Structure 1
Amino acid sequence: MSKYMFSILPFNSTWRTPLWCLWLCSCHSGPDAVSLLNERKGARNKQVTKLHKKKRSSCQPVLDHFDQQYSQELGDLWPSARAVLLDRHSWQYGVMLNRFSTVTDITQTLQSQGFSLLLPQTNVSTLLCNGPSTILISKHQARKDSLLPPQYISKCSPNDSYVQPESPSHALGRDLQSEALSLACPSLQCYIHPYPLRFPSQAHRPGQLKQYYLLNAASLLPVLALQVRDGEKVLDLCSAPGGKAIAIFQCATPALICCNEPDPHRRDWLAKTLESFVPHSLNSRVIVSAQDGRSFGQREAGTYDKVLVDAPCSNDRTWLYSCSGQQGEQRLQERARLPMLQAQLLRSALSAVRPGGVVVYSTCTMSSSENYAVVETVLNDCPEAEPEDLWEEIAIPLSKYFAFSPAHPGHGQTLHKPSPQPQNGNVSSYHHRLGILVVPQPGKTWGPMFLSRIRRRK
């Protein structure tokens, strides 16, 4: 592991994840994750496209369970979500550019093929970047113990600005589009296509940076909700395969980012991802940790400004295809035990974050028991934790691209789908503040992705 040049903390964990669970939270990395997994088996990059063409049948016990659970929890949204999950050829992937690599040729190719930016870069976003972020940069640069010289601190430049081909007034209006721009610094560039067009992945080449990362664009939402700024200390508690850590580096230049992964095989995968996207000049800012995430917060209490908990979960996409009938039954038994682990991880994250800091909890399942119930349980146990409403900040501005359904406090109920516009100033209701859920729908096949933001009171 030393060949990856990152600082690595010793492995002292008793957390042993079942082998089938190692694949659970890798779905949002898209073909890049599949490509790297194939490389470990000696496969070539071309096999990625063959993988998509190979027809795989769904796991019937899992599908039957989903039908029973999600028809109650999602109501009218489930039939169309079911159709998307069963049609792998309809799945969309985003192309996140690496700001540390030359991407001019890739940008031109993407635009020529009909890709457009998820977060259009305009003068509004430039002003946002030059506002609070600039203040943070100047403070960080003024520190005598700065880890890197000023030229390595991320800044906004004219080269970071691109124009969205289609009118920003389409569907949402100019005000809502501008609100979406506040979600990230212009350095984050993710291209998406309205149709399930596949872009080829790039093979891992030791010592060479990749130009882009393929992912389910919904996986960027937890990173946007985290609102990382330059000079902050960030913990990615369940980091492998590393896609969200890479996205964090596209948004800002943290003073330190700790990427934690207890499993040695997934940690090796994580280190390769970091090597492929993070330049050597930033290696001193990256720690690859091997701690048990459940006790991490006890060891490093109040250390971090921002913490991301992309928790192991019962991944809806992969569960439908990666098992036989017997394995499906075993997984469904394991599914009932996951919420306990997820709640432990979230509590640990709240301990690791400083007072006033932020924790974002996310999964790639639509299961209420692993999403809303976990957040509600931890909130009841942690009086210092306060949920924050993401509906106006993320769901409304990005509803053009993603199909959102809000959290709800009950189980086995049909979801109430609120109007995309605030009514009577009551948008920040309790069920909104628990979190928001991206449900795959025809034409918007991103997700599943649940995210909740919790602030630790000062």
Structure 2
Amino acid sequence: MLSYSILKHVTKETKIFVRYKHPSHHWSVLRKKDHPIDKALNHFDDFYKQVFDKKWPSIRKALFAKKKYIAVVNRFGDNIETISKLESEGALNMRRLFTLEKQYIQEEISEKKRNTALENIFKLDEMTEKATENVDPKVTSDNNLSKSSQFSLASSLSNAQYDTERLVDGKSFLSPEILHHFIPATKIKGNEDFLPESSHYKFYDQNIQFAVKSDNEFDIHFPEHLDIYCYEKYNKSDFGNPSKGSTGVYNYYLMDGGSVLPILALDIKPGHRVLDMCSSPGGKSLLAIQTLYPECVVSNDISGSRLDRVESVYEQFLYDFNEKWLGPGKIKLTLGDARNIVDDNFDRILVDVPCTTDRQSLHENDNNIFKPSRIKERLQLPELQKELLFHALKLVQKGGIVVYSTCSLSPIQNDGVVHMALKQIWEETNMEIVVKDLSPALLQARSVYEFADRNLLKYGHLVLPSMSHNYGPTYFCKLKKLK
């Protein structure tokens, strides 16, 4: 009886469930936490969807997908053996691809010219037939020669007018209203104050108009000593880790394929003095050296630790670096704010500015530009970028080239910064700058890269990440100083 009564009493008791919290490292807690990469993605979804419209989903997918690299063969290593090895593994020489595309383009142009000439002949025949109806045959015969010359292809080309200037005004793509439209409406809280991002672009004056000269460029000079290898589109093969050869340096350097184009756009020639304003991690400076053209390359950076990374790259890829490179002045490493550089003896200047580094911002939380502690820095990026570009245009010699580049999709950090710098040049100096439109020349690169539509850009060019060509993003704009 006793055991029965105890059992009966227990069954009537109320059960109490206690819920324990998961530890901070549990997946469910981490998933709910708002990381910098989450903030970056929210920002890009809000911002870039407006810019790229239907293309944004595919670009977004590519940013999260496996990134593609290219291999820059080290001329100071066992380059012949390295080239043979890369080609045996199925890698393609980028210079050869560009050359083949150039030949295809020339054939296409020739075919179009032939078709145009035939069309003109047919039109001329039709016009002649109509003109000779009810007309004296003798008069028609006398006029055939003059009409033929009037409607000939050569005559049409000689009378054609070519637009060499672009007028930038308040109604253009880069007007304040459009720029502000592309800035997310998100307000950021800092020091108990709410600050809209668009307020940082209030210095745009839509009433100011200024002419910007632009020239088409029809060819990309690919240095004969520069051997770069890539894989064809949709091929996701990896290059193995580089190894050291008989000279004690690594046989090739791996980098984002988009990073090649700003160096090619510089059009470095033998004897040129080259300045890389923001050189870390050192890949683009090394690429300039691999052309074997520069008399001197100055690699500058504002951070000592970042400059150490550049020096480390040089030591790994240039044999006897301290003796044969630093000593004679072939390479100079300088530490400081590039806006304070006073040496103006440069033929080529690369302005590869600090930016939101879009792909990295979606993959790494550490040191992410979207961290709450870096809000002010991120908002002030366009102003810093503009100041660096403006100073580069002042430093470069007459006839010299400045290439501005970022690894961002942002129209504010890209064309917007170029616009601001050109506006300041027009307002404060007597310099004459021409924007080089590389659209015709970049047709040579169409089998390697995917570029943004030209109607999205006013000045530069943008490599879009895609599942077929997953390089970039890389924006670059070529500017030449006439006076």
Match of 1:271 among 311, 324, 327: 311
Given the alignment, which residue of 338, 342, 362 partners 2:385? Answer: 342
- The equivalent of 1:189 in structure 2 is 227
Tell me: CA distance 1:262–1:329, structure 2 relative to 1, closer, same or farther (3 Å): closer
**CA displacement, residues 413-438 of structure 1 (integer Å, 9 cap, x when unaligned):** xxx36xxxxxxxxxxxxx54x10011
State the distance in 2 between where 1:220 and 1:450 align: 11
In the alignment, does 2:283 pair up with 1:243?
yes
For 1:370 and 1:454, locate their aligned partners in 2 and report how far apart those are by CA, in whole Å. 16
Aligned with residue 363 of structure 2, among 321, 328, 348: 321
Matched residues in 2 for 1:84 and 1:104: separation? 34
Paired residue secondary structure (2:254): strand
Displacement of 1:204: 8.3
| 1:175-230 C-alpha deviation (Å, 9 max, x unpaired) | 79xx997421121111101322222223789x832210001111000000000111
* Cross-structure match for 1:85: 63
Which residue pairs with 2:301 in the alignment?
261
Tell me the residue number matched to 2:194: none
Match of 2:178 in 1: none
Q: Displacement of 1:108 after TM fit?
A: 2.4
RMSD after superposition:
2.9
The answer (yes or no) to whether the contact 1:232–1:256 under 8 Å persists in 2 is yes
Matches of 1:268 and 1:326 in 2, distance apart?
A: 21
TM-score by length of 2: 0.63
TM-superposed CA distance for 1:106, in Å, is 2.3
**Residue 386 of structure 1: how far off its partner (Å):** 2.3
Quick one: which amino acid aligns to residue 453 of structure 1? K
In the alignment, which residue of structure 2 is the partner of 1:152? none
Equivalent-residue separation in structure 2 for 1:399 and 1:105 (angstroms): 29
User: How much does 1:255 deviate?
Assistant: 1.2
Which residue does the alignment assign to 2:8?
Answer: none
Corresponding residue number in structure 2 for 1:96:
72
User: Are the counterparts in 2 of residues 364 and 447 from structure 1 also a CA contact under 8 Å?
Assistant: yes
What do residues 363-419 of structure 1 show as CA deviations (whole Å, max 9, x unaligned)?
A: 00111111110000000111322211121122x221221111156xxxxxxxx36xx
Residues 169 and 248 of structure 1: CA distance in aligned 2, closer, same or farther (over 3 Å): closer
CA distance in 1 between partners of 2:461 and 2:395 (Å): 23
Shift of 1:275: 1.9
- Select 1:353's aligned residue among 379, 396, 418: 396
CA distance 1:171–1:332, shift in 2 (3 Å): farther
Alignment of 1:356-367 (within 5 A): 356-367=399-410
Correspondences of 1:283-322 after superposition (within 5 Å): 283=326, 284=328, 285-296=330-341, 299-300=342-343, 302-322=344-364
Return 5+ residue gaps in structure 2 as ranges: 1-34, 110-216
1:115 and 2:163 are equivalent in the alignment: no
Aligned length: 329
Aligned-pair CA distance for 1:251: 2.0
Identity across the alignment (%): 29
For structure 1, the residue ranges without an aligned partner over 5 or more in a row are: 1-56, 126-166, 408-415, 418-430
Contact 2:220/2:265, CA 8 A, preserved across alignment: no
Q: 2:274 aligns with which of 234, 242, 260?
A: 234
1:31 aligns to what? none
CA displacement at 1:95 relative to structure 2: 0.6
Q: Determine the structure 2 residue equivalent to 1:373.
A: 416
After superposition, the Cα gap between the structure-2 partners of 1:330 and 1:366, relative to the gap in structure 1 and judged at 3 Å, is farther
CA distance in 2 between counterparts of 1:372 and 1:227 reads 21
Residues 441-450 or 326-335, more deviating: 326-335
Provide the secondary structure at the position in 2 that maps to 1:365: coil
